[in-house]
Amino acid sequence: MDYQGIIEEIAALVRPEFGKGKVADYIPALAKVPASKFGIAVRTLSGDTFQVGDAEEAFSIQSISKVFALAQAYPIYGEALWERVGMEPSGNPFNSLVQLEYEKGIPRNPFINAGALVITDMLIEHFPKPKTRMLDFIRELSGSDDVYYDYEVTRSEREFGFTNAALVNFMKSHYNIKAPVEQVLDVYFHQCSVAMNCRELASAFLLLANHGVHPRNGQRILTKSQAKRINAIMLTCGFYDEAGEFAFCVGLPGKSGVGGGIVAVIPNELSIAVWSPELNEHGNSQAGIKALELFTTMTEMSIF
Ligand SMILES: NC(=O)CC[C@H](N)C(=O)O
């Protein structure tokens, strides 16, 4: 398959999407990123890399980090993890508060903010240095020591993190948060501010195309079943209240972030990362979704 030709064609075809979305500004540091950035990287399990545009430029991965957090917590807590967070799509925006009250402080899934904050709390309970461990884990998976915390973004998240603070406080009142509220927010804001590029992201997500085995050193990080389940949750919950449409148009498990990144996985084959900072009304990359839709259409590859 001529992946290089396909992604180059996609980079040209998505141009009309530019200007239709809006760069995230509720985290002020993200608003500074030029809207015109665009990159795609494809990594195959057979060891090839294909890339186009700004695929080597680091950006804020934001909620894509929720997958890395879950991939650390799941092997430690096993199925007990699901006692504190659910596995159902929320049908609500990523930072929604409403469901939490009806459902007594148990978030719907690990990819909305509330659920990710519970996973962060679990990582704090287990690891003496969860922030260092997060970075080490992502560096190990991506094979790149260049992955870093963008502290300007971390500060910006903290300064305007009132909704996340509300979520943690509410869950703490339901005893679903164990660590101090400030610590949970600190680790979570760091994890969201991880900066890396499309190539590194695509490399890291090969883990989930490879049934939980690190594709380069052969180390098993997740059981086959855990990898399947994380992919299932990416498919049903990875795009919040747009998860149905993403499955409908793209047909792959994936995860987005408000930095404009999206990573998707074709099990047994490849992973693909796209970056374009302008977001649609659901907080997902406008051109990124279009690019992935074109990718599965042109390659005729999806999980369905
Ligand atoms: N959807 C996202 O990428 C949101 C992440 C962001 N850091 C937040 O917590 O609001």
Model confidence pLDDT, tens digit, residues 173-211: 999 999 999 999 999 999 999 999 999 999 999 999 999
Kindly give, in sequence order, each residue whose CB lies less than 8 Å from that of residue 90, ignoring residues fewer than 6 positions away: 96, 99, 107, 108, 109, 112, 237, 240, 241
Tokens at 222, concatenated: 């997740």
Catalytically active residues are: 63, 66, 188, 240, 258
Binding residues for substrate: 63, 113, 157, 164, 188, 240, 258
The pick from 23, 61, 62, 158 for probing ligand 1's pocket by mutation, whose C-beta has the most ligand atoms within 8 angstroms, reads 62
Q: Which CATH class is domain 3-299?
A: alpha beta
Ligand 1: which of 68, 92, 95, 284 to mutate, judged by most atoms within 8 Å of the beta carbon?
95
Rounded to an integer, the average pLDDT of 239-249 is 96
pTM for the model stands at 0.98
**What is the spatial distance between Cα 179 and Cα 174, in angstroms, rounded to a whole number?**
13
The pLDDT of 75-99, averaged and rounded, is: 95
Domain ranges in the chain are 3-299
How far, in Å, from the CA of 120 to the mean position of ligand 1? Answer: 14
Residues 6+ apart with CB under 8 A from 164: 95, 113, 117, 157, 185, 188, 189
How far apart are the C-alpha atoms of 71 and 196, rounded to whole Å? 18
Is the Cα dihedral 257, 261, 263, 264 positive or negative? positive
Of the pLDDT bands very low, low, confident and very high (cuts 50, 70, 90), residue 171 is very high
CA of 257, closest atom in ligand 1: 3
